[in-house]
Amino acid sequence: MKIAHLFYLLCLVLFSQTFALAQNASPTESQSEKEKTQKELEKRVLEMLNQAVGDAASLKLAQNRAIVYAIAGDLYWKFDEKRARELFRNSGNEILLANAESEKEKKAEDDPFYAVFEFSNIRNEVLPLVAKHDAELALELMVQTRTAKIAEALVKAALPNAKQEGGYMNFNPEQNRVRQEIALEQRFAVLAAEQNPDKAIKLIKDSLSKGISWNVLPLLQKINQKDEKKATALADDVVRKIVDTDLTKKSEDLGAAIQFLQFAVNPNAPKTTKEKQFKFTDSQLKDIANKLFNTFMQPSNSLAMTMGMTQAMAGLEKFIPEKIALLK
């Protein structure tokens, strides 16, 4: 890891020195001379980058090669997007090798905790570098570099009867990895929607197949800016997913439903904005409130349920006031 960080620092120093030369160019230079100087500087930068990429092949660990290729792709983007994407894909290939190396180490390790916990996840360092330039590619590489264990855990978590345990007393390493994976994927989905709003619709539907998340709201907001009717129709899908889910077993989904209700009654929401703000309809919010009410009415000694009911109370009082007495 230190090799990769040193590589990044070295590139930044070289970049700053190179472009400092451009700042010191004579003010009497003509426009054509300035353009010529700029091209020469860019050529020098690319030569340095290419040298660094070539040297990366000599690094022993695949995870270090993955980081170097990703950083090089990040720095290369302003000069040549096609080449940057090639470097990002090279990084993805190195992550696959790093995954294989990690599995070998786990099998050879006697400590049982080593096989259970993920002490290092190179994907969390590499993929955000890709996503800030091309979130779709980041999502593609995310699936490509997903370990078999994470893929299997995601499938299990999506099953209707799969229970999501929450809280410090019920820490589950596998479920924690699933939460981290979904959170990262949805973060990239929001970036992809910003880079290409037309793709937000597919991203929301893909996201709903894995569960309900607060990150659906930014995606709905992106769609709402272009087509309010489409945003409302997709919000119907979100609400239908909430209604059809057993929230007593899905703590993440329960939390998202509560947040949607809180969002609707938030007194601190901005009153003035240039963008059209997405809002769930009153009918949709009433459906969410009724689902939460039915969930809270089920027998439970869970602290999470008690806290959730407290957090949702303001929304419940607004949209289903006639039922509040039954919760007290």
Give the angle subtended at the CA of 227 by the CAs of 225 and 233, to the nearest 5°: 115
Instruction: Give residue-wise pLDDT tens across range 21-56.
Output: 455 555 666 777 777 877 887 788 788 888 888 888
CB contact at 8 A, 133 and 154: no
Q: Per-residue b/e over 252-265, b at no fewer than 16 CB within 10 Å?
A: bbbbbbbbbbebbb
Residue 109 in this model has a pLDDT that exceeds 70: no
Look at the block and give the residue holding tokens 């930014």. Answer: 218
Judge residue 312's burial from the number of C-beta atoms within 10 Å of its C-beta, 0-12 exposed, 13-18 middle, 19 or more buried. Answer: buried
Side-chain-side CA neighbours of residue 96 (13 Å)? 11
Side-chain-side CA neighbours of residue 237 (13 Å)? 19
Instruction: Give residue-wise pLDDT tens across range 185-243.
Output: 888 888 887 787 777 777 777 777 777 877 788 888 888 888 888 889 989 999 999 99
C-alpha distances in Å from residue 225, one per residue of 128, 233, 284: 25, 14, 19
Instruction: Give residue-wise pLDDT tens across range 259-312.
Output: 999 999 885 665 556 677 889 999 999 999 999 999 999 887 778 888 999 999
Q: What is the pTM of this model?
A: 0.71
CB contact at 8 A, 145 and 92: yes
CB contact at 8 A, 191 and 131: yes
Instruction: Give residue-wise pLDDT tens across range 50-81.
Output: 888 888 888 888 999 999 899 999 989 988 99
